[in-house]
Amino acid sequence: MGEDPFEILVKEPDRGLRLIMAKHGSQLKNRIRTIVNNDELVKDVVSETLTTLFVQREKVAICKDPFAWMMAIARNIALKMLRQEKKNQKIAIDELRIVPHSQDIEADLHYQEMLEAVLSKAEQLTPMEKKIFIDAKVHGMDNKELETRHDLKPQRVRNLLSTALAKIRRLLKGS
């Protein structure tokens, strides 16, 4: 099945949308779930994204990377729906301090995207480098905690962490 569903979308919209969902549906839903944690809202975002794809199918077909375009559209729709949902909720005045602003949502999303990118690169580290790196940078453990948890000497922890960081930097620059 070497057909590009985004190109098929122009001539056969129904078939194109079905092919897009068959090929990219799970990735699309997973991407939306990183932003939205409500299954009904995920369905709404998927539906709205497909509607946008349908309406702008000619633009999508000539797009350099239609998959990335679709994912960006889904992200924007999800954020828009989250903002709208927050506006529609009736919240007690005392609770207003805990409602995240759209900038917080953007920052959280950006953090999650960066964390996913770094963790995917961490898969290329040695098992011990990976453990030390994740415990230090994701779980926030200091060197003393790393020494205790992994039963390592201080210099070994510093070496592993230094090597892991250098590899991650190199891998991220290459991508």
Distance CA 150, CA 127 (A): 12
- What is the pLDDT averaged over residues 9-18? 88
Among 26-35, 101-110, 148-157, which stretch is predicted with the lowest mean pLDDT? 101-110
**Overall fold of domain 1-90:** Rna Polymerase Sigma Factor; Chain: A (1.10.1740)
Distance CA 65, CA 146 (A): 42
Verdict on whether the full-model pTM lies above 0.85: no
Confidence of residue 3 (pLDDT cuts 50, 70, 90): confident
Q: CATH 1.10.357.10: does it fit domain 115-175?
A: no
Reference 172, options 101, 112, 114, 93; nearest CA is: 114
Asked if residue 87 has pLDDT above 80, the reply is: no
- Quick: pLDDT tens for 121-174: 889 999 999 999 989 988 888 999 999 999 999 999 999 999 999 998 898 887
Q: Is the dihedral of CA 129, 154, 145, 109 positive or negative?
A: negative
- Report the residue count for the chain: 175
Taking the domains of the chain in order of start, what are their residue ranges? Answer: 1-90, 115-175
